[in-house]
């Protein structure tokens, strides 16, 4: 009800503002100004509604997260200790300026900014995967956008889960940020071991040997090899930026046609 009253009020203000405009600029100009005013009004309404109803934390839906790795020096949390800001899209609404952690061993997104009422610690919540449309982690030197991909989207042999969408072009490039565990002095240590997959005409292929990957591009393999040679790239040893550059070049040379 509060939201309805706010919408009516803002809509009335918008009409009033337009009534005071005395200069005629044509129907198209009026329509454009009205659309912009309406969009601005809706954005303001949403921010007021969030503040009034305390729905800025509406994305918090999950279970308590236990930091099982508390003794480990090498933690499974992606780039643990590095400053970051984060955003998450839940049911179509975007929440920004958050502090989120991504557990690369259990494939969980964690929110840890809820005070536990004692003032010493904070609750850590593992957010339900099925409500997350996407999330973004912004570090000083990189911005990483993640989306949950199902078996149907990734294809056989690639596990469902959160993947970084490194390049969302016709070919596509996704990264599974995972951790492998090794025991040191009786303590489990977690080491970041990402795996990259490139979308080819045969589906997503794990980046292992360049030769096998090139063959999967079919009649485009010669063009891909030419680009890699020109840029002096060895796919297995290339970093994310190099691989993205190769794929962008490949797509542009082939007219950015979707991969068949």
Instruction: Confirm whether pTM is higher than 0.85.
Output: no
Distance, in Å, from the CA atom of 45 to the CA atom of 157, rounded to the nearest integer, reads 46
- Name the one residue in this structure whose structure tokens are 């063009």: 223
Rg (CA), the chain: 24
Instruction: Give 167-227 as a DSSP string.
Output: E-SSS-EEEE--EEEEEETTEEEEEE--EEEEEETTEEEE-S-HHHHHHTTGGGHHHHHHH
Residue of 70, 138, 51 whose CA lies nearest to 100: 138
**Which sequence spans correspond to the domains of the chain?**
2-53, 62-253
β-strand partners of 197: 174, 206
Residue of 136, 78, 139 whose CA lies nearest to 106: 78
DSSP for residue 131: G
Model confidence pLDDT, tens digit, residues 40-96: 555 544 444 444 434 455 557 778 888 899 999 999 999 998 888 999 998 888 888
Model confidence pLDDT, tens digit, residues 154-192: 877 788 999 999 999 888 899 999 999 999 989 999 999
Q: Which structure tokens are listed for 183?
A: 């025991």
Distance, in Å, from the CA atom of 35 to the CA atom of 27, rounded to the nearest integer, reads 12
């Amino acid at each position: 009800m509060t939201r309805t009253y706010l919408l009516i009020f803002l809509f009335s203000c918008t009409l009033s503002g337009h009534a005071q405009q005395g200069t005629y600029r044509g129907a198209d100009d009026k329509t454009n100004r009205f659309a912009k005013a309406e969009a601005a009004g809706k954005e303001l309404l949403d921010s007021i509604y969030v503040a009034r109803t305390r729905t800025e934390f509406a994305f918090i839906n999950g279970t308590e997260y236990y930091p099982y790795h508390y003794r480990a020096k090498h933690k499974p949390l992606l780039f643990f200790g590095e400053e970051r800001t984060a955003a998450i899209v839940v049911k179509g609404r975007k929440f920004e300026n958050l502090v989120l952690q991504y557990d690369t061993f259990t494939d969980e997104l964690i929110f840890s900014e809820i005070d536990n009422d004692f003032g010493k610690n904070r609750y850590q919540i593992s957010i339900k995967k099925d409500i997350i449309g996407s999330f973004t982690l912004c570090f000083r030197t990189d911005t990483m956008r993640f989306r949950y991909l199902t078996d149907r989207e990734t294809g056989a042999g690639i596990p469902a889960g959160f993947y970084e969408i490194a390049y969302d072009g016709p070919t596509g490039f996704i990264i599974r940020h995972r951790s492998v565990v090794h025991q040191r002095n009786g303590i489990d240590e977690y080491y970041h071991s990402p795996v990259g997959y490139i979308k080819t005409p045969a589906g997503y292929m794990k980046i292992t040997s360049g030769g096998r990957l090139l063959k999967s591009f079919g009649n485009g393999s010669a063009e891909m090899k030419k680009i890699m040679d020109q840029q002096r790239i060895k796919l297995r040893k290339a970093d994310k930026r190099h691989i993205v550059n190769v794929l962008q070049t490949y797509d542009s040379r082939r007219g950015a046609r979707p991969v068949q």
